[in-house]
Amino acid sequence: MTVITLSASCFAQGKEGHLSIIPRIGVDLAKITNGEYFVAESNSDFKVDANIRPAFACGIDAEYMLNSHFALNAGVYYTQQGAKFDDYSIENEDKTGYGVHNNILKLDYISMPLMAREFITDNFSVSIGLQPSLLVNTCRVWEEQAFVVGEDGARDYKKAEEIEIDYSNLTQKFVLHMPVSISYEFQHVIIDARYVYGLTRSFKSSFGKSNNSMLMFTVGYRFQL
């Protein structure tokens, strides 16, 4: 048992001067702060809240061991951030209206985290750093479905129409994030939970004061070079 424990410990923490490559894949749970917006119609005026947008994430890190307890990481990631908004419907006085569903704000980035990593135990580590991010895709997309209210009060829905609006003229092309993570590593496999917060605004000042906020969960595999 002693031999096995020492072997796992040495591999997880590595030796001074060792370089490794760690590809990762996982999921984002993204949201934006102050992301709600207001809908104003002739007979309706209400707030639509921003909620979590679950999405895909992947990336690769290069890690250099400074010594047996500290390492530096540099990576490249593709992350899908933004938010998913509440569904809502509006009914007019003439008994017509529409509903909005799958209302998603997409803010997709190529991110380059630079992080310092400390091993707390043989297998657990914590990291903190800075993450410059370049916006590669942004839009708001939703499904809009018109309806007519019958005499019995039931809504007769028409076929849903998907609508997409380009937000590239409203969003910042460059955003700086701060990632903080905790990782568990055993036999080459690394499970990482990371919180990423936007230090700079996601939108231009004329549109809104919102920052990105994201939890990212990934599984990676260490290839020692």
> What pairing do the DSSP bridges indicate for beta strands 155-157 and 70-85?
unpaired
Q: Do 21 and 61 contact (CB within 8 A), yes or no?
A: yes
Tens-place pLDDT, residues 66-123 = 998 999 999 999 999 999 999 888 888 788 888 899 999 999 999 999 999 999 998 9
* Choice among 33-37, 124-128, 183-187, 217-221 with the minimum mean pLDDT: 33-37
**pLDDT score, position 88:** 87
Strands (DSSP E) contained in the chain are 19-32, 37-40, 45-48, 50-51, 53-65, 70-85, 88-91, 96-111, 114-119, 124-149, 155-157, 161-166, 174-186, 189-198, 212-221, 223-224
Nearest to 62 by CA among 22, 24, 25, 26: 22
Give the integer Cα–Cα distance in Å for 212 and 68.
Answer: 34
For tokens 């009060």, what's the residue? 153
In this prediction, residues 56-61 reach a mean pLDDT of: 96
% of the chain exceeding 90 in pLDDT: 64
Q: What pTM was computed for the model?
A: 0.84
**pLDDT score, position 35:** 78
State the chain's mean pLDDT as an integer: 88
- Whether 207 shows a pLDDT value over 70: the answer reads no
Tens-place pLDDT, residues 141-180 = 999 999 898 888 788 888 889 999 999 998 999 999 999 9
Give the integer Cα–Cα distance in Å for 144 and 184.
Answer: 44
Phi/psi region, residue 3 (left: phi>0; alpha: psi -120 to 50; beta: rest), is alpha
CATH architecture of 2-34+53-86+105-140+166-224: Beta Barrel (2.40)
Give the integer Cα–Cα distance in Å for 225 and 218.
Answer: 21
- Which band of pLDDT confidence, cut at 50, 70 and 90, is reported for residue 21? very high
- Whether 132 shows a pLDDT value over 90: the answer reads yes
